[in-house]
Chain A
Amino acid sequence: QKEVEQNSGPLSVPEGAIASLNCTYSDRVSQSFFWYRQYSGKSPELIMSIYSNGDKEDGRFTAQLNKASQYVSLLIRDSQPSDSATYLCAVPTVSNFNKFYFGSGTKLNVKP
């Protein structure tokens, strides 16, 4: 089992809809979780972090964490074509705070 798993997609949503991206992780004691956005041909860019159960909102982005289910999600409201990218979930190991495991990413296409 991989440490971090994501559906590779592509996930296609119409402009203005809510895009829901999901990530599961294997280390039950993981404490922090990150979402990176990666445009084609570019490097990953940190867009959200979440440390506690529940929701964290930042503009059109909401990160949701459920530690009991070992599940973290990213919701993008009012999706725009400029949101079309691959979204990577990253989870650092508990034993080694600065070592990240990345999922393979979910490709999102927002259709105008």
Chain B
Amino acid sequence: AQTVTQSQPEMSVQEAETVTLSCTYDTSESDYYLFWYKQPPSRQMILVIRQEAYKQQNATENRFSVNFQKAAKSFSLKISDSQLGDAAMYFCAYRILIQGAQKLVFGQGTRLTINP
């Protein structure tokens, strides 16, 4: 099965604090990449961070980092020093090549609210 599960439909955090969004996935493919996308009210999906599945080292992009547990098929996103501009829907996804085509499989999303 090709699925991504985000178990937290909504999360909220105080400005300047840290929040972790959870994600688990299922794929039988061996070659895949994992992504977190952010979708603000403007609707445009913006790449936050990506992780190569064959790398054990967790990716970091400024205030954003991931905790990648390949055996558990878990890929959580940690946002440090939360800012008001971080408020958005966050989607976890993986990308595979299947039947000669590339495809992103998304979770249902987590709506993140930042409280001032």
A in complex with B: no
Using CB atoms and an 8 Å cutoff, list the residues of chain B in contact with chain A: none
